[in-house]
């Protein structure tokens, strides 16, 4: 039986009436995305039609999921909100704080020792507030959600950008910051600008070496890392229904890499098979009663250009395996073109490591198909040229693939089997030799490949591809190897051509597991004590941010003018910094240390205008804070791309940055800044970015007139006495301005005014 089946049945009980009413109000057939959105309005029964990309709308998500790195800050905020219990089903998953180094058994034991304080905190706070807790080693949050909680037609939010993975089961699952999660956990509505819609029509059928991963790698190449911003991507067509549920999850997962609000697929037989295989026939029975409401109306998919803001068509029968990267997940190269691209760009051809896993590709099918390539290499006497590692997606998957001999197959090639956790995908990888900074190439099945993300080495060229292609490239040790056409030499000098991968969509003998790692909360958590030591360097109780004084901000200093790509990894790095995710003061020491200063093209070196000396970004900002001097950050396009981590907003807020002025924002980061009481502003004229000088002081001329739809006017005073008046746009509505006025959205919740 599924978790929370009563909640799921309740959603389905109201869906038909709400969708029918929405269709009447909109006056046309509805996409699946619109059906789910209108079925989850905070008001209940729809009463008006909303404009895509314009109207802010209040929603009522069905559930919340948090991973351990973001859950710390989310739950610290929830404690501050003063509620007795989470208002909707909520789970916490311990998957980020486990470093890959030796192998699963040793690495998990080390993590349980090093992060015991954090795990104990998360366990106890979950127990107190009615939150389901998944222990370290139980698996990766998004794989566990797909296996246990996701359901067609549902809406969930999660404190991780790859929450969108649950779209593989027909949900609208959306990544958010912890403050948004606290709203929903506190029994409040969740606000989102009504998304635009991108339709992706998939024709044909995947074959040979092509995998579901190649679909999203192609889409990322088409749309780029910001092409999906403010939109839901809805996949449909014969190609969509022909692929597995976990394959759909892979595609939805990497929708985060194009900036999409989320991605989804209509309810079909692959979802029925997956639900049944994971012990949720009761969900199938309930979903089948409203099946027509769990996919788009017929005319939508027949005439998509009439209903979507943009339509992309991909013929899966003609799609070639892709390898995306390096340094960005949207630079797509068909495998047949990699040799010439690598030569033209100076990419190292020797593959040092192949890594399979992450929330994107760690399913049974992924492991089985990759293992089929390994099995061939072993059978033909081919010695792999690169090192190889895997992270199973959950304990259920690990147990099942061990039972079915898949792990044994990998181990024949010397594969390191790491813990059921994120590991190298998020920088939790103690890679030998990475500190040398040598130029090298790795291939992985993860979702992101930003500079330094996997191993901390800025010269590691990381390429994203499917699990089966990772296996082939790791065996060959050559980035330019094309398994569709090329051969390998075995240990006897004989030429061998690898056959296309094969693997079961679902285990023939069913899934199995001894201990999945779930801890149910206490029925009554009122007596549970949550202790946070005042001397801890890992956890710190939060204090409210100060409210705005109602005056124009004057005399602010420019902290940094960030140049080029500035992701949340640049603003608040992961890796070794994950240990401080529950301690705002300590983790603030990594604020913007990865951002490139436009004035000297160096990272973590900015001018302290109080002394004239150059220092680390956090040190300069702490000096400004100590002197009572506000500051602003200036940035480039798609600022805050990547992870949903709200630390990238909380750290500058905590240290005294009052505004971030950029050419454009990634959706989640813009919302996170607003929630923490900061000013998230965009240049009305992007060319004004070039007017910002290193020694500028900034005055807000009309902040006292802050209002929806009204740009703010900023005066940049240069050292020679000249000035530039710059107009800054914003997307704040009345309630969001209220967050700024109060000091943060959480301050309003704690005061009972939200």
Rounded distance between C-alpha atoms, residue 596 and residue 682, angstroms: 19
* Token code pair at residue 414: 């010397």
Distances (CA, A) of 240 to 201, 215, 359: 8, 10, 20
Selecting among 96, 280, 581, 667, the annotated active-site residue is 96
Q: What's the per-residue H, E or C state across 589-647?
A: HHECCCCEECCCCEECCEECCCCCCEECHHHHHHHHHHCCCCEEEEECCCECECCCCCH
Sort strands 697-700 and 679-683 into parallel, antiparallel or unpaired: unpaired
Selecting among 142, 431, 444, 448, the annotated active-site residue is 448
Query: Are residues 95 and 143 in contact, defined by beta-carbon separation less than 8 angstroms?
Result: no
Query: Are residues 549 and 596 in contact, defined by beta-carbon separation less than 8 angstroms?
Result: no
Positive or negative, the CA dihedral 388, 210, 502, 236 is positive
Selecting among 4, 62, 95, 366, the annotated active-site residue is 95
Selecting among 138, 358, 643, 644, the annotated active-site residue is 643
Q: What's the per-residue H, E or C state across 52-103?
A: CCCCEEEECCCEEEEEHHHHHHHHHHHHHHCCCCCCCCEEEECCCCCCECCC
Rounded distance between C-alpha atoms, residue 615 and residue 313, angstroms: 50
Selecting among 18, 398, 570, 645, the annotated active-site residue is 645
Respond yes or no: is residue 322 known to be catalytic. Answer: no
Sort strands 155-158 and 172-175 into parallel, antiparallel or unpaired: parallel
> Per-residue DSSP letters for 669-726?
HHHHHHHTT-EEEEESSGGGGGG--TT-EEEESSGGG--TT--EEEEEE-TTS-EEEE
Backbone phi and psi for residue 683, each to the nearest 5 degrees, phi listed first: -60, 125
Query: Are residues 294 and 287 in contact, defined by beta-carbon separation less than 8 angstroms?
Result: yes
Contacts 24+ apart (CB under 8 A), 704-712: 704/550, 704/551, 704/552, 706/732, 706/737, 706/740, 707/737, 708/732, 708/733, 708/734, 708/737, 711/684, 712/679, 712/681
Rounded distance between C-alpha atoms, residue 361 and residue 505, angstroms: 13
Respond yes or no: is residue 645 known to be catalytic. Answer: yes
Q: Which residue has the tokens 């998939």?
A: 202
Cis status, amide bond into 30, omega within 30 of 0 = no
- 3-state DSSP call for residue 562? strand
The full length of the chain comes to 754
* Token code pair at residue 53: 């990309």
Rounded distance between C-alpha atoms, residue 597 and residue 188, angstroms: 40
Identify the H or E element spanning 661: strand 657-662
Respond yes or no: is residue 643 known to be catalytic. Answer: yes
* Token code pair at residue 465: 């591809």
Among residues 590, 614, 612, the alpha carbon closest in space to that of 600 is found at 614
Rounded distance between C-alpha atoms, residue 472 and residue 373, angstroms: 7
Rounded distance between C-alpha atoms, residue 375 and residue 540, angstroms: 49
Rounded distance between C-alpha atoms, residue 579 and residue 576, angstroms: 6
Selecting among 4, 62, 68, 160, the annotated active-site residue is 160
| Active-site amino acid positions | 95-96, 160, 448, 643, 645
């Amino acid at each position: 039986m599924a978790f929370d089946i009563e909640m799921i049945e309740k959603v389905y009980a109201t869906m038909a009436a709400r969708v029918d009413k929405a269709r009447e109000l909109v006056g046309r057939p509805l996409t699946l995305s619109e059906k789910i959105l209108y079925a989850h309005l905070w008001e209940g029964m729809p009463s008006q039609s909303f404009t895509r990309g314009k109207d802010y709308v209040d929603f009522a998500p069905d559930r919340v999921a948090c991973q351990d790195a973001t859950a710390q800050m989310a739950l610290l905020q929830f404690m501050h909100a003063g509620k007795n219990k989470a208002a909707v089903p909520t789970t916490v998953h311990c998957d980020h704080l486990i470093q890959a180094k030796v192998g699963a058994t040793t690495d998990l034991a080390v993590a349980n020792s090093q992060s015991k304080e954090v795990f104990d905190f998360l366990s106890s706070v979950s127990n107190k507030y009615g939150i389901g807790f998944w222990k370290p080693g139980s698996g990766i949050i998004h794989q566990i959600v797909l296996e246990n909680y996701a359901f067609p037609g549902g809406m969930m939010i999660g404190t991780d950008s790859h929450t969108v993975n649950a779209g593989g089961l027909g949900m609208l699952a959306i990544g958010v910051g912890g403050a948004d999660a606290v709203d929903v956990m506190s029994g409040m509505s969740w606000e989102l600008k009504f998304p635009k819609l991108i339709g992706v029509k998939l024709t044909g059928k995947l074959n040979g070496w092509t995998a579901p991963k190649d679909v999203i790698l192609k889409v990322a190449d088409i749309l780029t890392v910001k092409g999906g911003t403010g939109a839901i991507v809805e996949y449909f067509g014969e190609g969509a229904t022909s692929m597995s549920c976990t394959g759909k999850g892979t595609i939805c997962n990497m929708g985060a890499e194009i900036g999409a609000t989320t991605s989804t697929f209509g309810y079909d037989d692959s979802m029925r098979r997956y639900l049944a295989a994971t012990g949720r026939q009761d969900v199938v029975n309930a979903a089948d009663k409203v099946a027509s409401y769990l996919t788009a109306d017929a005319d939508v998919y027949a005439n998509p250009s009439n209903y979507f803001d943009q339509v992309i068509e991909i013929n899966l029968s003609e799609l070639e395996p892709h390898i995306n990267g390096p340094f960005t997940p949207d630079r797509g190269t068909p495998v047949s073109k990699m040799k010439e691209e690598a030569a033209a760009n100076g990419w190292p051809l020797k593959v040092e490591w192949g890594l399979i896993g992450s929330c994107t590709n760690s399913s049974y099918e992924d492991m089985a198909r990759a293992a089929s390539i390994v099995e061939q290499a072993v059978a033909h006497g081919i010695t792999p040229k690169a090192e190889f590692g895997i992270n199973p997606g959950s304990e259920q998957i690990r147990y099942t693939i061990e039972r079915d001999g898949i792990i044994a197959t990998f181990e024949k090639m010397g594969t390191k089997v790491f813990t059921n956790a994120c590991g190298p995908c998020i920088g939790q990888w103690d890679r030998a030799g990475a500190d040398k900074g040598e130029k090298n190439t790795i291939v992985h099945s993860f979702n992101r490949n930003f500079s330094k993300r996997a191993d901390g080495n800025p010269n590691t060229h990381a390429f994203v591809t499917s699990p089966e292609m990772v296996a082939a490239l790791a065996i060959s040790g050559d980035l330019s190897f094309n398994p569709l056409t090329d051969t390998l030499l075995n240990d006897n000098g004989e030429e061998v051509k690898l056959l296309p991968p094969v693997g079961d969509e679902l285990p023939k003998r069913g899934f199995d597991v001894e201990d999945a790692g779930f801890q149910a909360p206490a029925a009554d958590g009122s007596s549970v004590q949550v202790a946070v030591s005042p001397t801890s360097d890992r956890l710190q109780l939060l204090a409210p941010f100060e409210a705005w004084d109602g005056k124009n901000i004057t005399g602010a200093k420019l902290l940094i003018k960030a140049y080029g790509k500035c992701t949340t990894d640049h603003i608040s790095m992961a890796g070794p910094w994950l240990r401080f995710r529950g301690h705002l003061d300590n983790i603030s020491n990594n604020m913007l240390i990865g951002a490139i200063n436009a004035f000297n093209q160096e990272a973590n070196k900015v001018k302290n205008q109080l002394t004239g000396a150059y220092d680390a970004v956090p040190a300069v900002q702490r000096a400004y804070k100590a002197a009572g001097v506000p500051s602003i950050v200036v940035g480039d396009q798609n600022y805050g791309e990547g992870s949903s981590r709200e630390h990238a907003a909380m750290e500058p807020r905590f240290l005294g940055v009052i505004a971030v002025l950029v050419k454009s924002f990634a959706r989640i980061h813009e919302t996170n800044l607003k929630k923490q009481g900061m000013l998230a502003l965009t240049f009305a004229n992007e060319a004004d970015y070039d007017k910002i000088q290193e020694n500028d002081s900034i005055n807000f001329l009309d902040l006292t007139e802050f209002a929806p739809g009204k740009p703010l006017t900023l005066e940049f005073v240069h050292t020679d006495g000249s000035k530039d008046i710059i107009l800054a746009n914003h997307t704040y509505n009345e309630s969001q301005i209220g967050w700024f006025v109060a000091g943060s959205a959480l301050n309003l919740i704690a005061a009972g005014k939200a």
